[in-house]
Amino acid sequence: MSDASKPDGFRIRGFCIKDYDRIMELWAEGGLPRKPSGRDSRENIVRQIKMPNVLFLVAEEGEGGRIVGTVLATHDGRKGWINRLAVDAALRERGLGARLVREAESWLESQGMDILACLIEDDNAVSMTVFEKLGYKKHPEIIYFAKRKHPGI
């Protein structure tokens, strides 16, 4: 993971819980579904980032600047997952999303993951375009099923 500022003025670092409110704003701006009373609560995020198979990154403008991007990488021991990619709308198409994905990919590959995947809601055309440009292929034959303890998680 890069912790230094790049010539583009963005610095990528690990998520800290003090970043929580801004991350929720970024996810809302990006149209990502949020479950602040469930899986996305402060408590659950704190628990998740302590797990060895989770890397949660943020991008900020300059040293100690405003958070302008985020990505969450996880793996299940067989496949790496890239989730929660969000970039401030005013800064899109400057390569920051691709840089965040590359950081996540690098970490996942270092964890032994040879298959990398992402889940994107069917109405999120922006994310689909980003991942297609980064070499990801849509698999229309895969249907996602979920079982939840309750709707808020």
Looking only at the bridges linking them, the beta strands covering 10-14 and 67-75 are unpaired
Return all residues near 64 (Cβ < 8 A) that are at least 6 apart: none
The CATH homologous superfamily of the domain defined by 10-133:
Gcn5-related N-acetyltransferase (GNAT) (3.40.630.30)
Condensed to tens digits (0 to 9), the pLDDT of residues 21-70 reads 999 999 999 889 888 888 899 999 999 999 999 999 999 987 668 999 99
Look at residue 148 in the predicted model and tell me its pLDDT: 84
Condensed to tens digits (0 to 9), the pLDDT of residues 121-132 reads 888 888 999 999
Kindly list the domain boundaries of the chain, sorted by start residue: 10-133
Sign of torsion over alpha carbons 80, 60, 126, 32 = positive
How many other C-beta atoms are found inside a 10 Å radius of the C-beta of residue 140?
Answer: 5
Q: Which of 89, 97, 28, 30 is nearest to 58 (CA)?
A: 97
